[in-house]
Amino acid sequence: MNSRKVVYLFFSTLLIGSISGAIVGLIIEFDVYTAGSFLNFVFGLIWLLGISAAFSLISQMGFFAYLTLHRFGLALFKSQKLWNYVQIILVAFVVFDLIYFRYIAFAEPGETILHYSVMPILLLAFGLLVAYLKAKDTNQGAFIPALFFIVVVTTIEWVPALTVNDPKWLWLYFAPLITANTWQLLILHRLTKKES
């Protein structure tokens, strides 16, 4: 992959993450950003784009860290099959943790564990969809790594918002992460494909 493609990947991911975070931020607190003058909206939008850009940069760091980790895992386990099993176990562990530990830490009277199951199950379902698309575009061997990246790496990047447990920050942080991670995963093979 040449430097032009690396620059394209960087800036396109930054733009997609920033816009998605700004849209979600505007939806969450539409009244706050539209109250008062037009400048209030402009400065609020600039703030949302900036904070979302920061989160999409975290996503990019996580993506390149995972590419390194994936190669390390293949070398350590000396078998893609065994490394895939390890990744599946880690995906299951992370989904369980997202449900159980958040429930233990943040559940209020009257809340059941089902309240804390929705978001992790949706993340897993989205991960399965993205992994299917990645495998369809490349090869079946890409399914488990793609699922691992979307579920596990996104969750690791999302930890600061998860520990606060403020719905506004959960979604404001999550939107740029998941869109940037999805974009990077689905565009990488197109950028690295040899031109004939």
- 165 CB-near residues (< 8 Å, 6+ apart): 102, 105, 106
DSSP state of 193: S
For residue range 142-165, list pLDDT tens digits in order. 999 999 999 999 999 999 999 888
Q: What is the pTM of this model?
A: 0.92
Mean pLDDT of the chain: 93
Which two structure tokens, joined as six digits, stand for 182? 């999805």
CA distance 164 to 185: 28
Given a cut of 60, is residue 40 above it in pLDDT?
yes
> Shortest CA distance to 57 belongs to which of 146, 177, 182?
177
